Amino acid sequence: MTNGRFATALHILTLLAKQEPELLSSAYIAGSININPVLVRKEIRNLQNHGLILSKEGKNGGSTLAKPSTKILLSDIYQAVRPTTLLGRSNTPNPACPIGKQINTHIESLYSSAEEALIQQLGSQTLADFTNRFS
């Protein structure tokens, strides 16, 4: 992925974890990340759908963690922003070529075992582990 969604999501969750149980507004969060508030709201919505965040509408509204940071794995965050393919997109090879015809199947299974390794590694750390590194 060439986008910054993982970094953005992690930043959002770090802020929420650090200022728990305060409700933080998307404008405040966007100011810290230095991106557009609409992007933040979209990502918050997504993290909400994945059960990591709770939001409250209306005046004095905002967002907070849906569960303690010790219960949020970094792999949960990855899964929430997971790109279609970790190692990039595949091509649409020539079906007339015996290699071209088969390669995407093999690439797919390769990608999924590679991603599995990544998820295992990310799953070994919690959001709390990550935020504790901040001085």
The site for DNA (CB under 7 A) is made up of 1-5, 24-27, 35-39, 41-42, 44-45, 48, 55-63, 83, 88-89
Please pick, from the candidates 74, 76, 80, 127, the single residue that binds its own copies as defined by CB under 8 A. 74
Report d(CA 40, CA 29) in Å as an integer. Answer: 7
What is d(CA 135, CA 61) in angstroms, rounded to the nearest whole number? 28
CB of 129 to DNA, least distance (A): 25
Residue 31 near which of its own copies, DNA, none (CB within 5-8 Å, type-dependent)? its own copies
Q: Please report whether residue 23 would count as binding its own copies according to CB under 8 A.
A: no
63 binds its own copies (CB under 8 A): no
- The conformational region for residue 62 under phi > 0 = left, psi -120 to 50 = alpha, else beta, is left
**Which sign, positive or negative, has the C-alpha torsion 17, 51, 12, 127?**
positive
Q: CB under 8 Å, gap of 24 or more: what pairs does 53-57 form?
A: 53/12, 53/13, 53/16, 56/23
- Give the interface with its own copies as residue ranges (CB under 8 A): 1-8, 10-11, 14-15, 18, 31-35, 74, 78, 83, 86-94, 97-100, 102-103, 106-107, 110, 113-114, 116-118, 120-122, 125, 130, 133-135
